[in-house]
A and B are shown apart, each in its own frame.
Chain A
Amino acid sequence: MNKDKAPRIRSDIGVYENPESTVKLGTDIEAKIGLQLRAMYSQVLSQGIPDRFAKILDRLDETASDQAEAARMTDNEVSNGPIH
């Protein structure tokens, strides 16, 4: 960075361009970064849940239900105990 330059402030995010490269983190820049992060994130969140994930979980759920059903039947045959 050019040492002759006086520190300049980028007004929109409040960043100090310090020739010594010690950026002062004011509440402005922290708030700005937080805002940008959440905006970036919310773009993805706003897309909701793509179908493929509901389908995958449906399939897993069905498989698990079938297995549980099979296990229950086996239990009954062996112990004739109460169904859990």
Chain B
Amino acid sequence: MAPSTKSVRAAMLAAVPSLRAFAISLCRNVDRADDLVQEALLRGWAHLDSFEPGTNMSAWLFTILRNVFRSEYRRRWREVEDADGFYSESLTSLPGQTSHLEMDEFRKALMLLPPDQRESLVLVGASGFSYDETAQICGCAVGTIKSRVNRARRRLAEILSIESVDDFGPDRETRAVISSAVGGSRES
């Protein structure tokens, strides 16, 4: 029996914040990410008969969102890559968390990863999905996900360590000034 529309509505709504966070990590722009989430919800609703009651609604929606992104958004996203300073404008640091500058560096490093590695790392490391669930969402073997996550971590570590060498570009203070000018960082 299909779940009632009321319970579907509640489950979908509850999944929205996490879907948005995942979508932003995919397409790097909050407005486009929201369009992506909307499209995933509409498609999910239209294909509710393919959802197995009792299984994870959130994981199911993540799968749909990922498919929408891959089929429709990826080409467009590549065309407008690096076009805007979307992130720092729309998201501000929370008190007591990682500093704005540090977060900014991390995001840039994350975006340098190949999309396959990035999505695996985000799903496992931030969305809270298991390796099994992530493999299902991405439609590949668990071993592939583990390997992607490992490579993603290693690559991130490399990027971030290179970032720390002054020879490789503007020093930390200069970057702080640039970041402050561009992103409106409130860091001193």
* Distance of A70 from chain B, by nearest CB (Å): 14
- Sorting the interface of chain B by its residue count into under 10, 10 to 19, 20 to 34 or 35 or more gives 35 or more
CA gap between A10 and B164 in the complex, in Å = 7
**Count, chain A residues at interface, CB 8 A:** 42
Interface residues in A31-84 (C-beta closer than 8 Å to B)? 33-50, 52-54, 56-58, 60-61, 64-65, 68
B75 → chain A closest CB, angstroms: 24
Question: Once the chains bind, are B126 and A40 in contact (CB under 8 Å)?
Answer: yes
Contact B156 A53 (CB under 8 A): no
Q: Is B103 engaged at the interface, CB distance under 8 Å to the other chain?
A: yes
B112 at the interface (CB under 8 A from A): no
- Whether A35 contacts B98 in the complex (CB less than 8 A), given A23-B154, A57-B13, A61-B5, comes out as yes
Chain B residues with CB below 8 A from A2, complex form: 167
Does B34 contact A50, Cβ atoms closer than 8 Å? yes
Please, could you name 13 A-B residue pairs with CB atoms under 8 Å apart, sorted by A?
Answer: A10-B161, A10-B164, A13-B161, A29-B157, A33-B156, A36-B106, A37-B122, A37-B125, A40-B103, A40-B126, A44-B17, A57-B13, A61-B6
